[in-house]
Amino acid sequence: MHSPELLKGTLQTILLKVLKDNGRMYGYEITQRVKELSDGRILLTEGALYPALHKLEAEGLLQTETVLMGKRVRKYYTITPAGTNLVGDRVSEFMDFIKTMSAVLQVKYI
């Protein structure tokens, strides 16, 4: 697991991008997908994940659909057009941040 400090501020970007790339997903599924993509290095905690999803929904960037699987509730999230519009900017912003930090830390792009 990474130093959690560095992860701050990246959660929204991760959620939007993963939902854009993978279509309809539910919370737990997102944690597993991020774990897989990050090779086990990013483990989203529920206390961060659910409030973040709720916030993105409240902002109109995600929309939800609750489905009953047997006796179990699942809440599926889909990115909205507004979310799709935003995700590119967020990713670009992150890449720009990396470029700037690389200059400050005097390191070559990985």
Partner DNA sequence: TCTTATGCATAATTCTCTTATGTATTGATC
Partner DNA sequence: GATCAATACATAAGAGAATTATGCATAAGA
Judged by the rule CB under 8 A, the positions of this chain that interact with a second copy are 2-10, 13-14, 17-18, 21, 34, 37-39, 41-42, 91, 93-107, 109-110
Residue 77: Cβ-neighbour burial (10 angstroms; 0-12, 13-18, 19+) = buried
The window from 16-24, 73-81, 89-97, 100-108 that contacts DNA (CB under 7 A) reads 73-81
> CA angle 51-18-107, nearest 5°?
100
Is residue 101 part of the contact set for DNA (CB under 7 A)?
A: no
Indicate which of a second copy, DNA, none lies near residue 47 (CB less than 5 to 8 Å, by partner kind).
DNA
Q: Provide the terminal-to-terminal Cα distance of the chain, rounded to the nearest Å.
A: 19
